[in-house]
Structure 1
Amino acid sequence: MPQRSKTLFDAEINNPDTDVDFAREIVPVPVDEEMSESFLAYSLSVITSRAIPDARDGLKPVQRRILYSMLNMGIRPDGPHRKSARVVGDTMGKYHPHGDAAIYDALVRLAQEFARPIALIDPHGNFGTLDDPPAAPRYTECRLADAAMEMLAEIDEDTVDHRPTYDGDSTEPECLPGRLPNLLVNGTTGIAVGMATNMAPHNLREVAEAIRLVMTKRRPKPTIDQLLDVLPGPDFPSGGMAIDSEEGGLRQICESGRGSIRLQAKMAPVKLTRSRKGIEVTELPFMVGPEKVVKRINDLIVDGKLPGIHDARNLSDRHHGLRILIECEPHVEPEKLYYDLFRLTPLEETFAVNNVVLVNGVPTTVGLYDLCRHYIDHRLNVVVRRTRYRLGRARDRHHILEGLITALDNIDEVVAIIRGSDDAAEARERLQDALDLTEVQAAHILDMQLRRLTALEKQKIIDERDELIALIDELEKLLGSDQRQRTVVLKELDELVEQFGQDRRTEIVAHQDAPVYEATPVEELTPKAEGPCVVTLSTTGVVGRASVGGRRRSQFGRHDLLTASVEADLGDTVLAVTSAGRVIASSVSAIPEVSGRSRGAGASEVFGTIRSEAVLTLVLPGSDPLALVTAGGTVKRVDLSDADKGRAAKQVIKLKPNDKVEAAFCAPDTAEMVLVSAHGRALRAPIESISVQGRGASGVRGMKLKNGDRIIAAAGAVGDEAVIMVGANGSVDITPVTDIPATGRDGVGTQLDGGEPLAMAVIAPAADLLAEVDDNGKPAKAPVPFPLESGDADHAVVLSVGMPRW
């Protein structure tokens, strides 16, 4: 600390009453006055230098500086991509003294095709999606796109004014020549202080027609209806459907620059299976990502706010584009779900337009006509300044060529003057006096090469002079004719349409023509559910339900047996446990009924499983804890009290790589678990030795396996069960569970046979293990010797549980 400052500081600390002046002059200023002046300066800076685009080129300062910096760096469409970090650094160091994150974000927006119809930067690398951010600038590369070159074209021909950069080292353009009507085509968004802008993108072909109408029909100027005929509304790169409001939102936007419209996704019903339909979404509202939609729908399903919908999946890819599949519950018509989907999810959004732009540095809200007029005025000014520049260059060149021709016509005199002069200055003066030349002409004569003395070179000079005379005449006519200037603007605009024009992607729908979807009562989306029934699962993965009561013979197909069954009510929920460790809920009423020759439907169809998993068993919510046993010997118990909440599948065990769930069963704490391995070893342990864990846990080791052994069967036992083992050679061995020594978990088990590999194993009560074989050795279907009553359902459906037909 300087000595004087330290002395003043010590004086104030040691004697607070001492009057010490820290400034030469103290000017009292009211707080409200200082805040208003400072805030005003800050707000004006944000409005004019950061957030609001210029009406001429439709660019914010940071966007303009990025493009200008890339042009000066030579990063053009015909060259290689360069690191985005280099562009950000050059822009920040030379033109835009703000944060690198903000500059990179603006650069990314200029390159994202889903954010603007015509990108100004050609990206290379991960520039993000609607759901994911882009990679860091050190990983991505970029270069100017062809459209950006149209924005920057002729910038070196004195077409726009330049101003000093923030440090005064160089200059930057106040706006770009902007041959492309960027503001109308790409739109923009920005938040300033006390105001904001949100401009919709439009179709280039329609914008060109609107500009042509404004340019050619000046008195009287075009009406709103005439403008809407050629440019009916925004055209978003994501497509979708734009619905005009009842109050005429599109007309209001065109007229005043403010208004709102509804954006809806494009959806179509699709048939998934015989009993289930779905909704396919192929286009979304502007700036809405598919993952956002899928997450919102699935969250609403879990909360029970979207009845009639089973699941939503994002099936988009780079080959087929956007595709979201919304799966309905069985026998539910998709059209009945549209109302809730549009009301509760981002499948419908409102786009509020607020056309605030800088006109001569002043924030102004403008309509479609004014936007077209500002573009026309800017382009006419660019054409005039460009023509003047080119005319001046042509006249200068013509002046030089006239001097060269004069020199060639008097070459002997020119040579004599040059040879007789002491230096170049004397030769220049003597040439000017002798041939009536200007200083510029004389200087170029002295610089003329000897090869220009040939007849061929002289003819080239004469031809170039004649071409320049014609060009000068054409440029002078262009400067003198307003109609010619307008024709040039329209011609250049037509060339852009030919190069960058695209078909309309967003469908414009009038309010009276828009489809109307009404709310569907919940009872219509949920099938009537009443009455007891039995839900069964067979070995071939067929799930079906049958009403309890009446006499029915078993109708299994060949090589098909029941593996699981539960008795429930039509209004209940049944849970399917899969080999992937997932629990999937389905309403009992949604399961196909067993009738006639139909035995139900495939479990993958009913529960929506993936190809690599199989349904192992069926359980009811609120049952005893579910025990899961994997092929690798891991055992886990999980509570099923909330497994029926929502329709989405729930992962209930964290599996190791290449492991799968081999068996699943519900058992009380008083039961025992029995595990059987492929090498014929069995382990018997109390089930309560396995603690109940949460869904994200991996479980504990139940049995130690050696030499490539794996678990092939597991079940809960209460006393009279038996283990039936079928060897790979066809032998069958039955061992009561009570003959297996009871041990704790994590043991190696007991060898039950001679160590031969097993083909399969079944653990079930001996009374339920029945098989009937006729005299010719063929299996026969066992008749049910009693009516299928409610109390006997379990006994009826476990006849031959797990027994193959051999």
Structure 2
Amino acid sequence: MAAKSTTGSAQDHGDGTIIEIDVAREMEGSFLEYAYSVIYARALPDARDGLKPVQRRIVFQMMAMGLRPDRPYVKSARVVGDVMGRLHPHGDSAIYDALVRLAQPFSLRLPLVDGHGNFGSLDDGPAASRYTEARMAAAAMAMVADLDEDVVDFVPNYDNKLTQPSVLPSAIPNLLVNGASGIAVGMATNMAPHNLTEVIAAARFLLDNPDADLEALMRFVPGPDLPTGGKIVGLEGIRDAYRTGRGSFRTRATTSIENVTARRKGIIVTELPYLVGPEKVIDKIKEGVQNKKLQGISAVTDLTDRNHGLRLVIEVKTGFNPEAVLEHLFRYTPMEDSFAINNVCLVEGQPRTLGLKELLRVWIDHRVTVVRRRSEFRLTKKRERLHLVEGLLLAILDIDEVIQVIRASDDSEKAKARLQTVFDLSALQADYILELRLRRLTKFSRIELESERDSLRDEIAELEKILGSQARLREVVGDEMDAAAAQYGTPRRTILLDAAGGATPGGNAGSAGKRGAAPLEVPDSPCQVVLSATGFVARTADAEPVSRAGGRLHHDGLRATLSTTARSDIGVVTSAGRVVRLSALELPVLPPTLDAPSIAGGIPLSSLVDLIGDEAPVTLISLADEGAVLALGTRQGVVKRVAPGPAPSRDDWEVISLRDGDRVIGAVETSEAAELVFVSSDSSLLHFPAAAVNPQGRAAAGMAGIRLAAGEHAVFFGAVGRDAAIDGAVVVTVAGAREGLPGIDGGSVKVTPFEAYPGKGRATGGVRSQRFLRGEDSLTAAWVGPAAPRASRADGAPVDLPAPDPRRDGSGQATKYPVATIGE
């Protein structure tokens, strides 16, 4: 026997023959086979349906078992057993782990399995498969829709006894919507979930505009939409990932500052970054407190339950700034985490790294193929059925002769042959007639067959039109995309913030402080807080007054401005007659220039304070000035000046006791030297000295401000200085029909100098401010304040106001668009 090579090995084939082989070459070949198996058959998802093989087999087998959403649950162990025995010859634990992930709402944006029982949490694993139950979720039905109509290729299972789909039809873009993660040999995938409605909107746009660029698509898909909500801070990494398939972004918990006790504030965490559990956060907080990285934290309590969802209460010690503590929590705990995007998936069996446009393109092409194959299948079936129906109609028209031919035949084969000859039928038609039941020979049966024939012809014509026109085929695909978005789409959960903390146009508005190494003592620098006429709120980075001429406002008017400091609390006076405390630090910083029809970078005030029912913000007040006197006016004509004093330590409190059905329509901090102004719905304007209203305690109900006629109400309350004429104050009134549909008719608008209206005593009726035109019987809006006011529609778009009219009792000028808000 020859001597063995140092780099070789010997194999005994069992018959005594020993063959020398190269160990390096054998190891290389075996490793490549293993690597290919892991990449193609285990770890990476297919770009078309977004599923790994085990996930695809689970969904397919559950469909084969009839576990639809309207059927009862079955034991998860039964599903695992059937998948393992029929399609996936691997361990049951691996199959069950995949099934569990398909059912976890915190892992997938759109779960494909409806689980019943303990399917785990971000901190704990699931119960054993014998204890849990499962069935298909509604979205899974979209993944397997039309699977029995030859829309995809079927391949043999592991033992060649059964077949399984090579890919699912996937009526939803599952890969982008639910994301994916997996580790293969030499490569890995990590894809973030997205919002179904946004992804389908982008796919529909790309379907209609194949040459669309990335920027156009990102108008529809501005960023990921994570199942657990939270905030995404910084969008540059997302743009890189959408362009190249690789990138990263930071996710941040959703928090708020609340009073947890009468004298102590706390940080309330209601949403955590993707795949971060509360126990992990608590452990990191405790570790940070022990090693002195985190200061100012006295306790952490997990109040999470099934009814209210996640709620972590982080109690802040007295004397520490909660906002600064929160910044340290973002830095040293998983409350701010990083997500690395690596869009690796299989395209035609090959691993590729795809950007947003390529991912959408692969799914669109897949859907076009599915719809085309489905149409071809249905066309074949419809033609076969039409062929049979036409033959049956021929037989029914001359049924006596058909019966005679059959009775005169010796056997069924001869009867079949004679039917084909006598009536010029095909073999299929003859067989169908021979199987005809006597109950089909009624008059109604013939009518039904004729109706079915006509319907089949129409359906065949439509299918031929789809298959004969690429434009019509893509139109059907687009319509099905829209239907899927309408059926399975949900609102966005994750807020998108740029690097400075402002909400992006594509994401929901939200508050976030500016990211940085914030000290525990946040500088209490002066600033301006502004409330726009459309309900947006923000603050400036300095004490510079907000000015439209300075470029800070565009279109939207100002309802209130307040000079304060960054660390101060301010009060929001609401229409329900209460003041809600709000920290200025929670507000986004107003940029120096604006291009949107609102406060760009601002957020709706309703996202910061809890408003009850139809309660709306009226104005902003300072809580630090104990000598300020707040004047309030209500819809029923009541006026009140609130006696000065320190603000309560509560988060909200009443400043007026309202009667049933009444609400505050205006509030302003003023002195006795000001003039209080009411405007009523019947066009009466009344102004009187503020000194005529004695200050009262917060529990008081106020006193009569303006005398209203029966059925009328006040539409505006405010204040102007005694030198209003010198200051150029104006009165803006908007007239319309009392019974008209809101937002339809613009009505008429009038702008008049305030000095044209004489003053009268409190509790009188005032003077008329605008003469109604034909069809007008009420004022729908009014405003009194400095010259050059701004009006806007309900969507924030501007409405041009007419030039000032010196006539106090004149009529207004018709306006094309209805005025919803008026402000400075």
Query: Shorter chain as normaliser: what TM range?
Result: 0.5 to 0.7
Aligned to 1:305: 293
Deviation above 6 Å: which 4+ runs of structure 1? 522-525
* Separation (CA, whole Å) in 1 of partners of 2:190 and 2:332: 24
Q: Aligned with 1:202: secondary structure?
A: coil
Partners of 2:256 and 2:443 in 1: how far apart?
76
- Summarize the Cα distance change of 1:238–1:524 in structure 2 as closer, same or farther, 3 Å threshold: closer
* Pick aligned residue for 2:363 from 346, 368, 375: 375
Which residue is equivalent to 1:27?
A: 19
Structure-2 change in CA distance of 1:335 and 1:33 (3 Å):
same
* 1:156 paired residue number: 148
Distance 2:374 2:226 in 1: 34
In 2, distance between residues paired with 1:310 and 1:518?
23
Question: Which residue, 127, 137, 145 being the options, matches 1:145?
Answer: 137
2:500 alignment partner, SS class: helix
Corresponding position of 1:232: 222
Deviation at 1:517, TM superposition (A): 4.1
Aligned residue among 466, 471, 474 for 2:459:
471
Q: Alpha carbon RMSD of aligned pairs, Å?
A: 1.7
Contact kept? 2:67, 2:135, Cα under 8 Å: yes
Match of 1:622 in 2: none
Q: Which residue of 2 aligns with 1:255?
A: 243
Asked if residue 175 in structure 1 is aligned to residue 163 in structure 2, the reply is no
Q: Given that residues 267 and 326 in structure 2 are in contact (C-alpha distance below 8 angstroms), is that contact kept between their aligned partners in structure 1?
A: no
Task: Tell me the CA shift for residue 106 of structure 1.
Answer: 0.3
Q: 1:166 aligns with which of 153, 158, 162?
A: 158
- What does residue 514 of structure 2 align with? 516
- The structure-2 alpha-carbon separation of the partners of 1:55 and 1:519, relative to structure 1 and needing over 3 Å to count, comes to closer
Q: For residue 188 of structure 1, what is the aligned residue in structure 2?
A: 180
Name 2:71's counterpart in structure 1: 79
Q: State the partner residue of 1:39.
A: 31
Deviation at residue 274 of structure 1 after TM alignment: 4.5
Quote the residue 2:258 is aligned against.
270
1:72-471 equivalent positions in 2, closer than 5 A = 72-218=64-210, 221-244=211-234, 248-471=236-459
Structure 2 residue matching 1:390: 3-state secondary structure: helix
SS in 2 for 1:215: helix
Summarize the alignment of residues 579-590 of structure 1 with structure 2, pairs less than 5 Å apart.
none
Letter in 2 for 1:352: A
Task: Decide whether aligned partners of structure 1 residues 400 and 21 sit closer, same or farther in structure 2, where only a CA change above 3 A counts.
Answer: closer
1:43 counterpart letter in structure 2? A
Distance 1:437 1:241 in 2: 69
Q: Structure 1 counterpart of 2:74, which letter?
A: R
Q: Where do 5+ consecutive residues of structure 1 fail to align?
A: 1-19, 526-806
Write out per-residue CA displacement over residues 32-88 of structure 1, whole angstroms, 9 at most, x where no aligned residue: 211111111000000000010011111100000001111111111111000000000
458, 463, 469: which one aligns with 1:481: 469
Instruction: Tell me the distance in 2 between the aligned counterparts of 1:91 and 1:22.
Output: 36
SS of equivalent residue, structure 2 residue 41: helix
Q: Per the alignment, in what secondary structure is the counterpart of residue 279 of structure 1?
A: strand
Summarize the alignment of residues 740-755 of structure 1 with structure 2, pairs less than 5 Å apart. none
CA contact (8 A) 2:320 2:521 kept: no
CA–CA distance in 2 between the matches of 1:44 and 1:185?
Answer: 27
Deviation at residue 344 of structure 1 after TM alignment? 1.3
> What whole-Å deviation, never above 9, does each CA across 1:77-122 have from its counterpart, x for those lacking one?
1110000000000000000001100100000000001111111111
Distance 2:277 2:213 in 1: 37
Note the C-alpha offset of 1:23.
5.2
Larger of the two Rg values belongs to structure? 1
Cα deviation for residue 273 of structure 1 reads 3.3
Residues 460-494 of structure 1, C-alpha deviations (whole Å, 9 max, x = no match): 11111111011111110010111111111111111
Kept after mapping to 2: 8 A contact 1:309/1:328: yes
Q: Contact (CA 8 Å) 1:257, 1:368: kept in 2 or not?
A: yes
Q: Give, as a single letter, the amino acid of the residue that structure 2 aligns with 1:334.
A: P
Aligned to 1:48: 40
Paired residue secondary structure (1:75)? coil
Q: How far did residue 280 of structure 1 move?
A: 0.8
Give the AA of the match of 1:501.
G
**SS of equivalent to 1:278:** strand
CA apart distance, 1:29: 2.1
Amino acid at match of 1:485: L
Q: Is the 8 A contact 2:330 2:336 kept in 1?
A: yes
Match of 2:59 among 56, 67, 81: 67
In structure 2, how many angstroms separate the alpha carbons of the residues matched to 1:71 and 1:440? Answer: 33
Unmatched segments (≥5 aa) in structure 2 = 1-11, 503-512, 524-824
In 2 relative to 1, CA 520–458 (structure 1 residues): closer, same or farther, beyond 3 Å? closer
Q: How far apart are residue 520 of structure 1 and its match?
A: 5.2
The 1:33/1:501 distance shift into structure 2, 3 A limit, reads same
1:517-541 deviations in Å (ceiling 9; x for gaps):
444557999xxxxxxxxxxxxxxxx
d(CA) in 2 for partners of 1:205, 1:517: 30
Counterpart amino acid of 1:193?
V
- Counterpart code for 2:136: L
Preserved CA contact (<8 Å) 1:275 1:331: no
TM-score normalised to structure 2 length: 0.60
Work out the percentage of aligned pairs sharing the same amino acid: 51
State the Cα deviation string for residues 352-372 of structure 1 (Å, max 9, x = none).
000011000000000110111
Give runs of aligned pairs for residues 385-784 of structure 1, distance below 5 A.
385-513=373-501, 515-519=513-517
Q: For each residue in 1:174-229, what CA deviation from the matched residue of structure 2 results, as whole angstroms up to 9, or x when unmatched? A: 000111111111111111111000111100111011101110112xx111211111
SS of structure 2 residue aligned to 1:511:
coil
Q: Aligned partners of 1:321, 1:345: CA distance in 2, in Å?
A: 21
Give the whole-Å Cα distance in 1 for the aligned partners of 2:108 and 2:228: 9
Aligned equivalent of 2:556: none
Q: Aligned letter for 1:296?
A: K
Contact 2:501 2:515 in 1 (8 A): no
Q: By how many angstroms is 1:302 displaced?
A: 2.6
Counterpart Cα distance in 1 of 2:204 and 2:473: 13
Which has the larger helix fraction? 1
Measure, in 2, the Cα distance between the counterparts of 1:87 and 1:257. 35
What is the identity, as a one-letter code, of the residue corresponding to 2:417? E
Hey, what's the Cα distance between the residues in 2 that align with 1:194 and 1:253? 20
Given that 2:237 and 2:247 are in contact with CA atoms closer than 8 Å, whether structure 1 keeps it comes out as yes
Counterparts of 1:290 and 1:230, CA distance in 2: 32
* Structure 2 CA distance for aligned equivalents of residues 395 and 522 of structure 1: 77
| Native 8 Å contact 2:204 2:481 kept in 1 | no
How many residue pairs get matched?
502
SS of 2:304's equivalent in the other structure is: coil
Structure 2: how far apart are the matches of 1:403 and 1:34? 65
Paired amino acid for 2:18: I
